[in-house]
Structure 1
Amino acid sequence: MTILNADLHCHSTVSDGTLEPEILAERAKTRGVELWSLTDHDEVGGQQRALAAARELGLPYLTGVEISVTFCNLTVHIIGLGFDPGDEALVRGLERTRGGRGERAQEMGAELAKVGIAGAYEGALKYAGNPELISRTHFARFLVETGVCRDNNEVFRKYLADGKPGFVPHRWAALGDAVRWIREAGGVAVIAHPARYDQSPTQEYALFCEFKAHGGQGVEVVCGSHAASEYPKYADLALEFGLAASRGSDFHCPDESRIDLGELPLLEGRLTPVWELLADRIQAA
């Protein structure tokens, strides 16, 4: 096993992060990251910038994306690593996945207006570096900035979670399609932060089974969205399903994220790191 301080999950202004890809690359390098990937939501538009910045800094890089998927009426996320960002099928699939975000955001604004929060859509739009990727995170930043809530957790708890006044569901890509786009573009598909989903044990097992059947090869074990107590559970599931283990902070913003780039503990020695499946796709300086 190759021990690396890898960070293979973070977001820039190209989706819902607050830092430009170049600033993220510099932050990763400064904080001791030895292998980095930018994984913006449903978008590969920042990949060339991230790669160029990483090369300038001498930071090994893997292409990345985080694809929104609907599975059993829940939204789950699939990370793609080490793929060709110019692959036509992948690019078209991501365009279709992004397509409903703007309409959904306008519906969210209308729903929030019904409970007395006016101008939420326009306010959220100011925080979206890419209007095609306006999301609940941008609404949360607006509601915190305007004093409606103290922090993002309160926003989601009161307004943006399922069943709350500003929640509007969206049907994303199918699980099999997302895995296929990644694989056919030469990459490896990874289940992102599995502990974050509101799933029963049966649903979670079904997700892992279907993901594996479609050709998925990895799962995030050590992640900024997981508690340390959850790492062993997902290490065991990685071994049970024959999946490689990934590691990523899910960093979005210095003021919002639980874990900064480079801060996560290393993977356990009993696991196969996902980067060992992608050794020929790592782009070095």
Structure 2
Amino acid sequence: MASEIPIARPGLTAQALAGQVDLHCHSTASDGILSPAALVSRAKSAGVTLLALTDHDTVAGVAEAREEACRHGVSLLPGIELTARWGRRVVHVVGLNVDCEATALKRAILERDGLRHTRALQIAERLEKRGFAGAYEGARALAGPGVIGRPHFARWMVEEGHVTDTAKAFKRYLGAGKIGDVAVPWPEVGDTVDSIRASRGAAVLAHPLKYGLTRTRLQALLVDFQRAGGDAVEVVCGQQNPVQTREILSLVERVAALSGQDGRPGSPLLASLGSDFHQPDQPWRALGCVRLPAGVEPVWNLWQTGAIQVQ
């Protein structure tokens, strides 16, 4: 059951929407390369005026990012990208404008901390058996105080000369079906949406095209997400083919129509976007590289602003 707690309104100004908007990016608090401060500075240089820091399963970088955003005149939404489960599929739900001190969010983060720690130990054990000694210590050092994930193991393997780049690390050892692909009992999508809503945030289904679902299955995911109380979907994530964007928008419209037909609860899904920035040498997901197509209702309409008023 979706939380009845209303979404917070940060009072965005017209200036916040004067430049580029990027509502999905990562720092060293999770698996990004740049510190939260350096990320904000880079976003400013790219013309971003509204930014959400959405590290994986943590809000540890938000305070540093907020301080830097104030110095640069960038409007920052505190965010998070929570790992969740839809059936047997791992999906991600972005929380925008969350209350970082909310009990529900702290509980959700703590649960995932435990799951990530257990997974990291299991990945390291499997890699050790394949002859990669010191895998956990290496990945832990790269993660620093941030949450540890498979990208840290991939970067360690590159630094140690086991593979030439992180893509090969995933292809050979860490990707789906490989020895480093450890199944994790992540919380379900509905529970994840509840955690975000109880933290006064907006729940956004992240990068729907990355799950490898058929059109039918993707529509089913969108239906379940909307009925669980989800607020929006990333119709654009990084640089993508316009045909793909139209496909997502078509599915969102179909889900809205189905909701009206069967009388099930849930509001139409709004449109969100983000670069999914992790590091500077990936131009296809550079900060501020994305735009919403014309004619969609953006997720920031949930918040009262000087430029767009809530209808």
Fold shared per TM-score above 0.5: yes
- Which residue of 2 is the match for residue 141 of structure 1? 155
* 1:28 Cα deviation after fit: 0.5
2:61 is the alignment partner of 1:46: yes
Aligned identity (percent) is: 42
Alignment of 1:169-184 (within 5 A): 169-184=183-198
**CA offsets per residue over residues 16-72 of structure 1, 9 Å max, x none?**
112111111111011111210100111112222212211121111211100000111
Query: 2:203 is paired with a residue of what secondary structure?
Result: strand
Taking the aligned partners of 1:76 and 1:4, their CA distance within structure 2 comes to 30
2:36/2:61 contact within 8 Å kept = yes
Residue 225 and residue 181 in structure 1: after superposition, are their counterparts in 2 closer, same or farther (change >3 A)? farther
- The list of structure 1 runs, each at least 4 consecutive aligned residues, that deviate by more than 6 angstroms after superposition, is none
Query: 1:258 is paired with a residue of what secondary structure?
Result: helix
Taking the aligned partners of 2:35 and 2:130, their CA distance within structure 1 comes to 34
Taking the aligned partners of 2:277 and 2:125, their CA distance within structure 1 comes to 29
Taking the aligned partners of 1:124 and 1:225, their CA distance within structure 2 comes to 29
Taking the aligned partners of 1:200 and 1:210, their CA distance within structure 2 comes to 15
Task: Tell me which amino acid in the other structure corresponds to 2:75.
Answer: P
2:136 is the alignment partner of 1:121: yes
**CA offsets per residue over residues 75-110 of structure 1, 9 Å max, x none?**
100000012111111111211122121121111111
- Which residue of 2 is the match for residue 203 of structure 1? 217
- Which residue of 2 is the match for residue 224 of structure 1? 238
Taking the aligned partners of 1:163 and 1:268, their CA distance within structure 2 comes to 36
Higher alpha-carbon Rg:
2
Taking the aligned partners of 1:152 and 1:257, their CA distance within structure 2 comes to 16
Task: Tell me which amino acid in the other structure corresponds to 2:67.
Answer: A
- Which residue of 2 is the match for residue 262 of structure 1? 288
Taking the aligned partners of 1:279 and 1:161, their CA distance within structure 2 comes to 42
Task: Tell me which amino acid in the other structure corresponds to 2:296.
Answer: L
Task: Tell me which amino acid in the other structure corresponds to 2:153.
Answer: F
* 1:226 Cα deviation after fit: 4.3
- Which residue of 1 is the match for residue 178 of structure 2? 164
Superposition RMSD in Å: 2.0
* Structure 1 gap segments, 5+ residues each: none
Taking the aligned partners of 1:203 and 1:267, their CA distance within structure 2 comes to 24
**Across the two proteins, how many residue pairs are aligned to each other?**
279
- Which residue of 2 is the match for residue 240 of structure 1? 254
Task: Tell me which amino acid in the other structure corresponds to 1:255.
Answer: D
* 1:199 Cα deviation after fit: 2.3
Instruction: Answer with 141-150 or 63-72: which moved more.
Output: 141-150
1:8/1:249 contact within 8 Å kept = yes
1:218/1:238 contact within 8 Å kept = no
Question: Which one of the candidate residues 281, 301, 304 is aligned to 1:276?
Answer: 301
**CA offsets per residue over residues 210-251 of structure 1, 9 Å max, x none?**
110111010111112744542221122233332111111111
- Which residue of 2 is the match for residue 24 of structure 1? 39
2:81 is the alignment partner of 1:86: no
